[in-house]
């Protein structure tokens, strides 16, 4: 007779629960305190506290095991502590080798140093000498040095490239002249000031300092007198720019230029600095593709349009 059958015997049974009969007919008593099936015979209200706590603990363990099983099932075992430990080790090794930003680790540092070494060795290496075996004489072919493009001192600059203090000093110095030229020639003072700022780099460019040329005005006369112009690198290495005795003379020549010839039609824009800026670019005052945007940017940055009133 199995244990379960024995546990569920009714009270009408001839044998008392918890006892068995040996071969010689004597009753033998078994302790039922450790038999889990006895829990069903008692309701939770009548169950002793130790047994009740044991039952609660067993159910909690079963629920915990079921929860872990479902979690591993739906996460494909990624949340196991062994898997998490392995992923953490791999992540740590990756950070050591590549660095937290992907470029400061052990591997990338070695690459950077190797590239620096290659550059330095290339710079310090002597020039190679090729020899001709057929002629029996040594023929030296020096390696051509890379051409370094000279800085364009006459190119206009953007508003962000000018120092604010220098720009304000330039505006304070020439705003009265700009208004006088506007009243005389009809050119907006904001346009003249903006051109002077970006062409002369607020009066600090080499062209403005040595030639007093604040507007990048070129010389196209092939028979000009000595001292009339000088050579500066702009679009080509043969560009000649006019020289003036003082900055005021440069301003007056600029006004006369915009008030005549192909620029005279810009007067129809009145004091609209935006139309003037795009008009100057369209006519070809400068070869810079962003010339109009640079003028508008410097005007709006320093509120130069207030001098047009």
- Same domain as 230, residue 93: no
Q: What is the mean pLDDT of each run of 10 residues along the chain (309 residues)?
A: 48 48 50 46 72 87 85 73 79 77 64 48 45 44 50 61 88 95 95 94 90 88 72 61 92 94 94 95 90 94 93
The CATH number covering residue 255 comes to 1.10.530.10
Last residue of a domain, one of 93, 111, 129: 111
Q: What is the pLDDT of residue 82?
A: 75
How many CA atoms lie less than 13 Å away from 101 in the CB half-sphere?
3
Do 299 and 220 reside in the same domain of the chain? Answer: yes
Instruction: Calculate the dihedral angle through the C-alpha atoms of 30, 33, 38, 41, rounding to the nearest 10 degrees.
Output: 110
What pLDDT score was predicted for residue 136?
Answer: 44
> Which DSSP symbol is given to 218?
B
Confirm whether 100 is domain-assigned.
Answer: yes
Are 169 and 251 spatial neighbours (Cβ–Cβ below 8 Å)? no
Structural domain harbouring 219: 162-308
| Residue 218 burial (C-beta neighbours within 10 Å; 0-12, 13-18, 19+) | middle
The CA distance from 245 to 236, in Å, is 25
Is 235 within the bounds of a domain? yes
Two tokens, residue 275 = 């139309």
Residues 301 and 180 in one domain: yes
pLDDT of residue 134: 44
């Amino acid at each position: 007779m199995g244990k379960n059958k024995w546990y569920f015997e009714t009270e009408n049974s001839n044998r008392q629960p918890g006892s068995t009969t040996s071969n010689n007919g004597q009753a033998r008593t078994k302790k039922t305190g450790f038999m889990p099936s006895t829990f069903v015979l008692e309701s939770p209200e009548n169950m002793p506290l130790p047994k009740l706590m044991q039952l609660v603990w067993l159910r909690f363990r079963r629920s915990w095991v079921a929860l872990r099983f479902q979690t591993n099932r739906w996460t494909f075992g990624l949340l196991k502590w062994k898997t998490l430990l392995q992923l953490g080790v791999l992540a740590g090794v990756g950070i050591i080798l590549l660095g937290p930003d992907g470029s400061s680790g052990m591997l990338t540092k070695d690459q950077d140093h190797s590239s620096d070494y290659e550059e330095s060795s290339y710079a310090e290496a002597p020039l190679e000498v090729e020899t001709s075996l057929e002629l029996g004489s040594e023929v030296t072919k020096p390696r051509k040095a890379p051409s370094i493009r000279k800085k364009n001192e006459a190119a206009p600059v953007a508003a962000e490239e000018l120092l604010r203090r220098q720009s304000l000093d330039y505006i304070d110095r020439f705003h009265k002249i700009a208004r006088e030229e506007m009243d005389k020639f009809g050119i907006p003072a904001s346009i003249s000031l903006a051109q002077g700022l970006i062409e002369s780099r607020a009066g600090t460019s080499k062209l403005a300092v040595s030639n007093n040329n604040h507007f990048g005005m070129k010389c196209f006369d092939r028979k000009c007198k000595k001292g009339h112009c000088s050579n500066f690198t702009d679009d080509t290495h043969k560009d000649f720019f006019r020289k003036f005795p003082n900055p005021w003379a440069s301003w007056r020549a600029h006004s006369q230029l915009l008030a005549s010839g192909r620029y005279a039609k810009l007067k129809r824009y009145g004091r609209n600095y935006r139309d003037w800026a795009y008009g100057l670019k369209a006519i070809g005052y400068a070869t810079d593709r962003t010339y109009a945007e640079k003028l508008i940017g410097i005007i709006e940055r320093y509120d130069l349009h207030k001098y047009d009133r």
